[in-house]
Amino acid sequence: MELVFTETYDRILDAIARECQIKGWSRAKKEALIALNYEALPELSQRK
């Protein structure tokens, strides 16, 4: 296992909420986040 992405939060509840949000994302959207390709995130958010 390898750590490929991190974010820092001041409050643990914010970190937990973000983790839950990302867990619901598609693999493609997660890969765009890891690549810091923020422009692709809205497009990948569209439900097919």
Residue-wise pLDDT for 28-47, tens only, equals 999 999 999 999 999 998 76
Residue 48 pLDDT: 61
Distance CA 46, CA 9 (A): 27
Distance CA 42, CA 18 (A): 16
Picking from 40, 15, 18, the residue whose alpha carbon sits closest to that of residue 27 is 40
Chain mean pLDDT for the chain: 94
